[in-house]
């Protein structure tokens, strides 16, 4: 896309954190924005605050695990603004599983797949046909993570596996749109290069009854403060990336038609190299880590 002014953007997971930052940045670029989130109260407060700041932002409560709900988001967007040009499939959760992988509840897997993978697929199914029909320049941004998209953290198998799937789905979507000579761009976003302060570690607050845990937790949910302590104990420097900075990467990536929205990171590059060398030489993986970062 050559410019964003006057275009329409949809962002899932837009009630707070990175999704909100992207929506605000799009509006600042002159776009009309629809923020979607499953948490109605959070979404309403965010939209009200954005509107009070003069931003053209609307909200629509959406459960990305449901194709019907995402279709309703599409219909709301079209009825409100008449078209859609940018869709950010950004909603994501950390499953909050306890113990080792073989001890995790199936609902931990089902919830992570339903939001992190099927949420992206539902967004593609709902919006790509509309974009193809109007024939204008458009762009899809799918949020992945270095945790899974580059290499997994061993303690978060649901999150890592689903974020790896987002990368592969994005690659396939990009190739298929190229095959039909579409003017729709595709990007996969790796927020970072450092930790983001978002609601990811409080995902359990939005867990619906359909995917409810089937046995009581033995320990409290992991917090960002615990992650900080783990990193300190491992001798790792703690650094944060502002969500507004990532939103800027998204805007630049859309305007530059960049598939890989991946900020430069020496640590990330080294992990990619180690993983590639392990695969190329068929040696056992020695690059796997437990502590995020």
Stretch (H or E) spanning 185: strand 184-189
- With a CB cutoff of 8 Å and minimum separation 6, the contacts of 270 are none
Q: 61 near 40, Cβ under 8 Å? A: yes
Question: Which residues are paired to 187 by β-bridges?
Answer: 141
DSSP state of 221: P
Question: Which residues are paired to 60 by β-bridges?
Answer: 36
Distance, in Å, from the CA atom of 278 to the CA atom of 284, rounded to the nearest integer, reads 6
- The values of phi and psi at residue 61, to 5°, are -65, 125
- The values of phi and psi at residue 168, to 5°, are -65, -45
Distance, in Å, from the CA atom of 213 to the CA atom of 287, rounded to the nearest integer, reads 31
Question: Which residues are paired to 225 by β-bridges?
Answer: none
User: Is 159 annotated as catalytic?
Assistant: yes
Stretch (H or E) spanning 200: none
Stretch (H or E) spanning 141: strand 138-143
Distance, in Å, from the CA atom of 50 to the CA atom of 9, rounded to the nearest integer, reads 15
Angle between helices 243-255 and 17-28 (to 10 degrees): 50
Distance, in Å, from the CA atom of 54 to the CA atom of 70, rounded to the nearest integer, reads 27
Q: Which two tokens stand for residue 250?
A: 């998204």
Which is the catalytic residue, given 81, 159, 174, 221?
Answer: 159
Active site residues: 159
């Amino acid at each position: 896309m050559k410019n964003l002014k006057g275009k329409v953007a949809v962002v899932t997971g837009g009630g707070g954190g990175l999704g909100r930052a992207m929506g605000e940045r799009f509006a600042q670029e002159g776009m009309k924005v629809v923020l979607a989130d499953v948490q109605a109260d959070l979404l309403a407060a965010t939209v009200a605050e954005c509107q009070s700041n003069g931003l053209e932002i609307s909200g629509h409560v959406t459960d990305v695990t449901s194709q019907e709900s995402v279709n309703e988001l599409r219909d709301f967007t079209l009825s409100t603004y008449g078209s859609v040009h940018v869709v950010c499939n950004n909603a994501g959760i950390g499953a909050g599983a306890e113990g080792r992988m073989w001890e995790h509840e199936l609902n931990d897997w089902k919830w992570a797949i339903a939001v992190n993978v099927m949420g992206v697929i539902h967004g593609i199914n709902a919006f790509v046909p509309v974009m193809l029909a109007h024939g204008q320049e458009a762009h899809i941004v799918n949020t992945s993570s270095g945790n899974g998209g580059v290499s997994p953290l061993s303690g978060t198998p649901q999150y890592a596996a689903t974020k790896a799937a987002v990368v592969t789905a994005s690659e396939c979507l990009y190739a298929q749109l190229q095959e039909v000579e579409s003017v729709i761009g595709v990007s996969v976003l790796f927020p970072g290069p450092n930790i983001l302060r978002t609601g990811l570690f409080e995902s359990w607050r939005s867990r619906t009854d359909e995917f409810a845990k089937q046995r009581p937790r033995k320990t409290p949910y992991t917090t960002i403060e615990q992650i900080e302590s783990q990193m300190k104990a491992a001798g790792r420097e703690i650094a944060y990336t502002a969500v507004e900075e990532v939103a800027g990467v998204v805007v630049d990536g859309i305007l530059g038609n960049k598939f890989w929205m991946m900020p430069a990171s020496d640590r990330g590059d080294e992990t990619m190299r180690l993983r590639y060398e392990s695969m190329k030489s068929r040696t056992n993986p020695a690059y796997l880590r437990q502590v995020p970062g």
